[in-house]
Amino acid sequence: MSKKFLCSSLSIKSIEENGLFSGYASVFNVVDKQNDLILPGAFKENLNKDKIKLLWQHNQSEPIGYIIDIHENDVGLYITAHLLLGIQKAEEVYLMLKTGVINGLSIGYIPLEYDIDHESGARVLKQVELWEVSLVTFPANLAAQVVNVKSQDNEQKMLIRAIKKAKDVLTGTYIST
């Protein structure tokens, strides 16, 4: 069996100043640009986070971090990962994620069990062996979208606004809008 790559947009739930990020690496029941559709449960047999690598652009010589948590939910394959910011490429990737320059994820896997949908011609993946998750420039699965990118700067600004509002309330200078 040959290794296959499936790309999807990284649905970032958050990205922290320490390089932590989370989101959807794959979304179920969507035909991607490779004409593959992944069914719920396709990953459940092999979600050992210690064996699944976090790479840059599927380049096996460029690991950029590690996966902290990986699991299936109703939407798709959800990951929490940590970019190792001491690695130059990981720092570059982190900056690109934070600024929205990239938002794509791609999975490298071996299809273990699948059917062909004779109407659409799509390969319907029932079980896959997941090898790696990569941050990529051009995703194939467009269903997963960026939800929120959170940084320490945004959190600090929100905290400062909340403190100013509390001060205004306490001093009687708060004006409700």
Residue 145 has what pLDDT?
Answer: 37
Active site residue 92: no
Q: With bands split at pLDDT 50, 70 and 90, how would you rate the model's confidence at 143?
A: low
Q: With bands split at pLDDT 50, 70 and 90, how would you rate the model's confidence at 90?
A: very high
Residues 6+ apart with CB under 8 A from 77: 24, 25, 26, 38, 43, 70, 71, 107
Q: What mean pLDDT value characterizes the chain?
A: 80
Residue 146 has what pLDDT?
Answer: 34
Rounded to an integer, what distance in angstroms lies between the CA atom of residue 75 and that of residue 44?
14
Q: Token digits for 160?
A: 């400062």
The reported pTM is 0.74
Place of tokens 């794959």: 26
Active site residue 82: no
Whether 1 has a pLDDT exceeding 60, the answer reads: no
- Choosing from 8, 26, 106, 134, the catalytic residue is 106
Active site residue 62: no
- Choosing from 58, 72, 119, 176, the catalytic residue is 58
Note whether 57 and 44 are within 8 A (CB).
Answer: no
pLDDT in tens, 18-62: 888 888 888 899 998 889 999 999 999 989 888 999 999 999 999
- Choosing from 11, 22, 26, 132, the catalytic residue is 132
Q: With bands split at pLDDT 50, 70 and 90, how would you rate the model's confidence at 117?
A: very high
DSSP E strands in the chain: the ranges are 4-9, 11-15, 20-27, 36-38, 53-56, 59-72, 76-83, 104-116, 123-136
- Mean pLDDT, rounded, for 81-103: 91
Whether 167 has a pLDDT exceeding 70, the answer reads: no
Whether 114 has a pLDDT exceeding 90, the answer reads: yes
Residue 149 has what pLDDT?
Answer: 42
Whether 176 has a pLDDT exceeding 70, the answer reads: no
Alpha helices in 11-151 (DSSP H): 88-99
Residues 6+ apart with CB under 8 A from 162: none
Instruction: Report which of residues 141 and 7 the model is more confident about.
Output: 141
Rounded to an integer, what distance in angstroms lies between the CA atom of residue 122 and that of residue 120?
5
Percent pLDDT > 90 in the chain is 47
At 134, which amino acid appears?
S
Rounded to an integer, what distance in angstroms lies between the CA atom of residue 69 and that of residue 62?
20
Rounded to an integer, what distance in angstroms lies between the CA atom of residue 23 and that of residue 166?
33
